[in-house]
Amino acid sequence: MSDDSQILIARLMAHQTLRREDKMVKRVLSDEHFRAEVDARLAACGMKLLDNVYADHVTLALQRAIEPKVFGAKDVWQNNNFGLARDGVALLVVLWALIILPKRERQETHQHADDDQNDMFGTEKPVPRAEDTSIGIPYKALLADFGDKLGKKTRMDMNLGILSKLGFIERRGDIVVEGPLLDLLMDTDLLKERIINGALADVFKRAPAQIVHIPREVLAAANDPEPEPALEPEPVPAAETPTEE
């Protein structure tokens, strides 16, 4: 096995995520032999490489068969393996539904977030990056819609801080935006139908009024993220997709 596969895995373990534009990431996504080397090394440790064409990053995760042996002793694993409380899991699902599902739709139709109309030749273009199609959620709108159900401002602020530390979201001033793991660790195939037609069906009926597109130049000039609560609990290291009970 090559040293490059060892280096790539070590970098992913050290940095948690790497961008798809990274030279070694490009190689592992396009070179079948190199990908087989990386997969073999990871499989020997019960791990796997996570990537999807809709996300701008890649990461590592535990294989499904290994999860119970690593997390099964903890009661919280019944809900997730991030150490999140129930309201934290609920907030994560809400943010995923409001940010990722609309983004996926734009990517599948080859539309950018700031496109005003359909492009008849859009399907000939490559899938737009998450950075160009993801839309932010105003914090005040999120608090107004879900604060009463998710522990009010104090709990929501604490959970947003935890989700930010875990890499699911980023805070850009008053806007909550997609983090590198939000579209990687959530099982879209499993959750999409349940969310759209089930738990959050009423939210999607009014979602367009609650979300806004923030141009990248505005995000770049935004204030630093708000300070996180000093007493928030330490999250368990991430390894795989949070799941519902």
Backbone angles phi, psi at 187, to 5 degrees: -85, 95
* Residues 131 and 159 grouped into a single domain: yes
Q: What integer pLDDT is reported at residue 203 of this predicted model?
A: 53
| Whether 113 and 176 share a structural domain | yes
Same domain, 38 and 93: no
Give the pLDDT confidence score for residue 14 in this predicted structure.
95
CA nearest to 157, candidates 91, 210, 219, 211: 91
Q: Residue 36 has what pLDDT?
A: 96
Let me know if residue 163 belongs to a domain: yes
Round the average pLDDT of the chain to a whole number and report it: 76
pLDDT attached to residue 195? 65
143 and 175 share one domain: yes
pLDDT tier at 216 (50, 70, 90 boundaries)? Answer: very low
Question: Phi then psi for 63, rounded to 5 degrees?
Answer: -70, 150
189 versus 79: which is more confidently predicted? 189
CATH number at residue 43: 1.10.10
Among 36, 51, 71, the domain-final residue is: 71
Clarify whether residues 106 and 172 are in a common domain.
Answer: yes
In a domain, 128, yes or no: yes
User: Which of 84-93, 110-119, 153-162, 182-191 has the highest average model confidence (pLDDT)?
Assistant: 153-162
Evaluate whether residue 245 is within a structural domain: no
Across the range 52-60, mean pLDDT stands at 91
Task: Among 37, 71, 105, identify where a domain stops.
Answer: 71
The string of DSSP codes covering 95-156 is HHHHHHHHHHHHHHTT--TT--S--TTGGGSPPPPHHHH--BEEHHHHHHHHTTTTTHHHHH
155 with 200, same domain: the answer is yes
Does any domain span residue 233?
no
Q: 117 and 48 share a domain? A: no
CA-only gyration radius of the chain, Å: 18
Domain span at residue 10?
3-71
Instruction: Let me know whether 129 and 49 are in one domain.
Output: no
Report yes or no on 53 lying in a domain.
Answer: yes
Pair 59, 221: CB distance under 8 Å: no
Residue 122 lies in a domain: yes
Q: What is the pTM of this model?
A: 0.69
Same domain for 92 and 47: no
Residue 239 in domain: no
Tell which of 71, 89, 106 closes a domain.
71
Please indicate, yes or no, if residue 238 is contained in any of the structural domains. no
CA distance 213 to 220: 14
Domain count, the chain: 2
Q: Are residues 156 and 98 in the same domain?
A: yes
How far is the C-alpha of 223 from the C-alpha of 221, rounded, in Å? Answer: 7
Q: Are 18 and 57 in contact (CB under 8 A)?
A: yes
> 57 and 100 share a domain?
no
Mean pLDDT for 213-227 is: 44
Give the per-residue pLDDT at 31.
95
Q: Please indicate, yes or no, whether residues 61 and 164 belong to a single structural domain of this protein.
A: no
Q: What type of residue is 178?
A: E
